[in-house]
């Protein structure tokens, strides 16, 4: 069966895939859910020097040290920045890229470029960025509306080192990975992701899927997402 490496988004950690691991493993897949440096259970490693390159190296090291090949590499949200950089450097290890409600950066772009994140959003120390207010509502946390799920997520959210959002992605290859899929999970018209999915729907090089369940669909619909990834992979 397949090997999945699931890369979380900003302010999250490997914990956000907890409900996904068993459903994918029960289908016979090997599943890795690393936490990026300075976030989640690795928040103690946060410092002003952590940047996008750091996070790309995190995943490259998982592929290398676990000796992984034919990997289905999944990136959620900001994780799209990371897996794009990983695929640029380790294409021979990757079977397919899956962007889950994720951003699709081009060479020379940063998350700040894509989302217009302003310096004023940082904490007083000027190097940590809290989640944007619209992500942290009492009744809608990253697209999650169930109160029990919100109570589980909220204490696990951590600040994001700002250089992960401001460093521009540097790509060395001009040809993208030949196997790319996009899963749309957000149905909010103000979100960037429906626009991305609509654009890719017209591109024959992409397979586009819909699993509407809110941005953190791995929390709200883990079994259905596992089923879809099993089909894609």
Q: Catalytic residue positions?
A: 77
How many Cβ atoms are within 10 Å of 168's Cβ, its own excluded? 14
Bridge partners (DSSP) listed for residue 4? 31, 72
- Residue 48: which of 153, 162, 183 has the closest Cα? 162
Bridge partners (DSSP) listed for residue 183? 100, 209
**Residues 169 and 110: beta-carbon distance below 8 Å:** yes
Q: What is the distance between the terminal CA atoms of the chain, rounded to a whole angstrom?
A: 9
**Residues 194 and 165: beta-carbon distance below 8 Å:** no
**Residues 170 and 89: beta-carbon distance below 8 Å:** no
- Residue 9: which of 225, 230, 219, 172 has the closest Cα? 219
């Amino acid at each position: 069966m397949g090997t999945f490496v699931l890369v979380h988004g900003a302010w999250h950690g490997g914990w956000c895939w907890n409900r996904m691991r068993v459903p994918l493993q029960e289908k016979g897949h090997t599943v890795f859910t690393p936490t990026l440096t300075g976030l989640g259970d690795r928040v103690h490693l946060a410092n002003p020097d952590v940047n996008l390159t750091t996070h790309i190296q995190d995943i490259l090291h998982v592929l290398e040290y676990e000796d992984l090949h034919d990997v289905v590499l999944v990136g959620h949200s900001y994780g799209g920045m990371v897996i794009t950089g990983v695929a640029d450097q380790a294409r021979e290890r990757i079977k397919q890229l899956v962007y889950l409600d994720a951003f699709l950066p081009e060479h020379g772009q940063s998350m700040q470029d894509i989302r217009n994140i302003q310096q004023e959003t940082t904490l007083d120390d000027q190097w940590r960025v809290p989640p944007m207010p619209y992500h942290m509502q009492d009744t809608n946390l990253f697209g999650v509306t169930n109160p029990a799920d919100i109570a589980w997520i909220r204490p696990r959210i951590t600040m994001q080192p700002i250089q992960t959002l401001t460093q521009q992605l540097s790509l060395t290859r001009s040809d993208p990975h030949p196997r790319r899929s996009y899963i749309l999970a957000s149905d909010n018209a103000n979100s960037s992701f429906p626009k991305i999915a609509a654009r890719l729907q017209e591109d024959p090089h992409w397979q586009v899927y819909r699993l509407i369940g809110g941005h953190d669909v791995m929390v709200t619909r883990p079994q259905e997402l596992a089923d879809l990834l099993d089909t894609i992979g």
